[in-house]
Amino acid sequence: MKKNNLKKLKKGLAMCLASAMITSFALPAQTEAATWKKNNTGWWWQEDNGSYPVNKWVGVKGRLYHFDGTGYMNYGWYWDGSSWYYLGSKEDGSMKTGWQYVNGQWYFMNNDGRMATGWVAVKGKWYYMSGSGAMLYGWQKIGNNWFYLGGANDGSMKTGWQFINGEWYYMNGDGAMLSNQWVGNYWVDGSGAWTKTMEAPRWVKSGSRWWYRHGDGGCQTNGWEFINGRWYYFDNAGWMVTGWKQVNGSWYYMDASGAMLANQWVGNYYVGGSGAMLTNQWVGKYYVGSNGAWVKDKQPEHTHEWIPQTSSINHPEESHQELVKEAWSEEVHHDAEYKKVIDKEAWTETIDHPEESHQELVREAWTETVNHPAEYKKVVDKEAWTETIDHPEESHQELVKEAWTETIDHPEESHQELVKEAWTETVNHPEKGHYETTVDGYWEYIYHEAEGDKKAYTERNFVDGYTKETDANGLDVEIPVFENVAKNICNQCGEDITGNEYNHDDNHLLNGGTGGWHTEYRMLQTGTETKHYDAVWVVDKEAYTETINHDAEYKTVVDKEAWTETVNHPAEYKKVVDKEAWTETIDHPEESHQELVREAWTETVNHPAEYKKVVDKEAWTETIDHPEESHQELVREAWTETVNHPAEYKKVVDKEAWTEKVTTYKCSCGATK
């Protein structure tokens, strides 16, 4: 009995194991690896779980792609609401970085894929990207400056000298083109181009005499010129003057180098701040007469010029001490002092508790009878085959055009007869031209008044000459006339005080400043002059002689008059296809029959009871904070201390501190009062 039960148990276990094995092989779901998918609309990325990204960036095999709201891959230009990205072609779509050539334009995409605009530095070179992102090249005005950005396939900002379209230009270290200034010994004009006729200003010696050559080859005559921080005077031939020179009624002294002296003695003569020799006035303790020479026997008559000098005397406050509290002694009792000794530091203990559960019966064990049908195999008597049959075209004839009669007009038949032999004719053409006038360039001087800390100064600009077409009478041009005009300049503030010297000087002295002024000569426009420029005949086309060859002339001789011919054409037919030729393919199925492999049978299957797990208490983690363990140790026994307190005083102010202003007067001779 027991053996039979044991056999049944073993058989039931075996069947359970077999069932479990069958179940274990059937359970895993079939998954597909993540991959690209494509249809007529475009590409998308399918994850291994069948989902696909929407409205997001996704990295695939080291490249970034963006997918739209429907999940399709974006390509070409993409705007994310704040920046542009370039995502390649329809078959690519990956986010691009670095230089990209798109529709004939260069663009630069940053490392994060964003399209660059404005100035961009790439491998030590600067490029300028427009608002659309396209790289600019050639001449470009950016802000207030011109830049040269190379060719269409270059675009890099140029510096230094650049030869462009037959002209030399100089680009500063920041790429900005320089204009209307000297670059070393080279002059660049208003367009920035090097003016070959301009040279750096320099001193030129001829024999024993010197003159100062301007950039255009001209020089100063009968006037002053400020050169490298010094004033020089040139005569009517342009030669530098040395020694004494009278200019506009005043005498000036130029040393051996030609530089004007100022604020110093020259022998028995004194030249002031403007360089002009002083007359009829005291220079310190010395008097110069009407001819400017020092008058040795003249002594100054001193009258005190009292200059107020104010000083401040600070007086401290006056006060005394008043007793607030008498000195006293106090007994202070101090408790014993203890320190905490830690026996064990505080710690935190984490305890993981397992879930608590039990088994509940879901279904009692049962026995199932399964009927299996008979099994058959297919035996092929004749394999399937394909038969191809070619059918000829079926057609008939249809009338396209009825028979008809055509009338043809033939033109006349003729030939050419010579009327006049070929000949040659000579034609004389007069000279063609126009009158034009060339106007010389000239220097223009702009006087700038003193402003803030900036002193007054004169700016010199060269107005370029020009050529224009005129009539035979030429051209009259109004040209401004500039002259050196003496201006008295304040030594302290640099203001032009011409005509108001003494009032302005007194204001500085009354405010504690220094006085005095000097004379500077400024190039100012004093009027205009009309200058006539003659017209010059310019030949546009030289007079020339033209030889014209004339062909021979012919007349038409009719050999046969035009005639009309009637031609009869037969009817035309076309072939109409009723049914195109075709090939018919007929698939014949295989011919087969069934053969018995196994008779039908009945199988009894015992199923074990089924249980489900019922969780009584979920697993949980408990964190327990343990306090530190410590005890108290005596550091110092309790004690009593006698503390003596000094008397306390308060300060009583009898008189506040004050400042007294004292004014004294002092003369330049040293006397005081």
Q: Which residue has the higher pLDDT, 93 or 452?
A: 93
DSSP 481-508: EEEEEEEEEETTT--B-TT-HHHHHHHH
pLDDT at 485: 81
pLDDT at 318: 75
Q: Look at residue 662 and tell me whether its pLDDT is greater than 50.
A: yes
DSSP 367-397: EEEEEEPPEEEEEEEE--EEEEEEEPPEEEE
pLDDT at 370: 67
Structure tokens at 263: 């604020």
Q: How far apart, in whole angstroms, are the C-alpha atoms of residue 638 and residue 619?
A: 56
pLDDT at 298: 80
HEC string for 36-105: EEECCCCEEEECCCCCCCCCEEEEECCEEEEECCCCCECCCEEECCCCEEECCCCCCCCCCCEEEEECCE
Q: Which residue has the higher pLDDT, 190 or 389?
A: 190
Split at pLDDT 50, 70, 90, the class of 335 is low
Collect all residues with Cβ–Cβ distance below 8 Å to 62 and sequence separation of at least 6.
none
Q: Look at residue 104 and tell me whether its pLDDT is greater than 80.
A: yes
- Do residues 497 and 490 make contact, with C-beta atoms less than 8 angstroms apart? yes
| DSSP conformation class of 647 | P
Name the most confidently modeled range: 302-311, 478-487, 658-667.
Answer: 478-487
Q: Which residue has the higher pLDDT, 248 or 19?
A: 248
Name the most confidently modeled range: 367-371, 382-386, 441-445.
Answer: 441-445
pLDDT at 213: 84
Name the most confidently modeled range: 274-278, 510-514, 649-653.
Answer: 274-278
pLDDT at 173: 92
Q: How far apart, in whole angstroms, are the C-alpha atoms of residue 97 and residue 63?
A: 11
Q: Look at residue 61 and tell me whether its pLDDT is greater than 70.
A: yes
pTM listed for this prediction = 0.34
> In a 3-state reduction of DSSP, which class is residue 229?
coil
Split at pLDDT 50, 70, 90, the class of 629 is confident
Q: How far apart, in whole angstroms, are the C-alpha atoms of residue 8 and residue 6?
A: 5
Separation of CA 23 from chain center: 68
Summarize the confidence of residues 519-537 as an average pLDDT: 85
Q: Which residue has the tokens 């080291």?
A: 62
pLDDT at 174: 94
Which whole-number Å values give the CA distances from 618 to 358, 615, 624, in the listed order? 12, 6, 19
Mean model confidence pLDDT for the chain? 81
Summarize the confidence of residues 158-175 as an average pLDDT: 91
Q: How far apart, in whole angstroms, are the C-alpha atoms of residue 244 and residue 266?
A: 10
Half-sphere exposure of 111 (CA within 13 A, CB side): 2
Q: Look at residue 6 and tell me whether its pLDDT is greater than 70.
A: no
pLDDT at 237: 83
pLDDT at 86: 96
Summarize the confidence of residues 459-486 as an average pLDDT: 86
HEC string for 90-123: CCCCCCCCEEEEECCEEEEECCCCCECCEEEEEC
Q: Which residue has the higher pLDDT, 418 or 97?
A: 97
- Do residues 133 and 116 make contact, with C-beta atoms less than 8 angstroms apart? yes
Any idea of the CA torsion for 589, 592, 597, 598, to the nearest 10 degrees?
A: 80
User: Looking at 15-24, 36-45, 95-104, which range is the least confident one?
Assistant: 15-24
At 401, the amino acid letter reads K
User: Looking at 89-103, 281-295, 541-555, 625-639, which range is the least confident one?
Assistant: 625-639
Strands (DSSP E) contained in 451-571 are 457-463, 466-470, 475-490, 517-533, 536-541, 544-550, 553-560, 563-569
Split at pLDDT 50, 70, 90, the class of 66 is very high
- Do residues 133 and 127 make contact, with C-beta atoms less than 8 angstroms apart? no
Structure tokens at 609: 């009871």
Q: Look at residue 27 and tell me whether its pLDDT is greater than 50.
A: no
Split at pLDDT 50, 70, 90, the class of 21 is very low
Torsion sign across C-alpha atoms 556, 557, 559, 563: positive
Q: Look at residue 17 and tell me whether its pLDDT is greater than 70.
A: no
Name the percent of the chain in helix, strand, coil, to the closest 5: 5, 60, 35
pLDDT at 577: 76
Summarize the confidence of residues 557-585 as an average pLDDT: 76
Summarize the confidence of residues 485-508 as an average pLDDT: 81
Residues 219, 189, 525: CA angle, nearest 5 degrees: 50
pLDDT at 498: 86
Split at pLDDT 50, 70, 90, the class of 172 is very high
User: Looking at 167-181, 200-214, 643-657, which range is the least confident one?
Assistant: 643-657
Structure tokens at 346: 């505080």
Split at pLDDT 50, 70, 90, the class of 513 is confident
Q: Which residue has the tokens 């390649």?
A: 88
User: Looking at 143-157, 216-230, 260-274, 535-549, which range is the least confident one?
Assistant: 535-549
Split at pLDDT 50, 70, 90, the class of 627 is confident
Which whole-number Å values give the CA distances from 65 to 50, 114, 306, in the listed order? 18, 14, 90
Q: How far apart, in whole angstroms, are the C-alpha atoms of residue 283 and residue 294?
A: 9
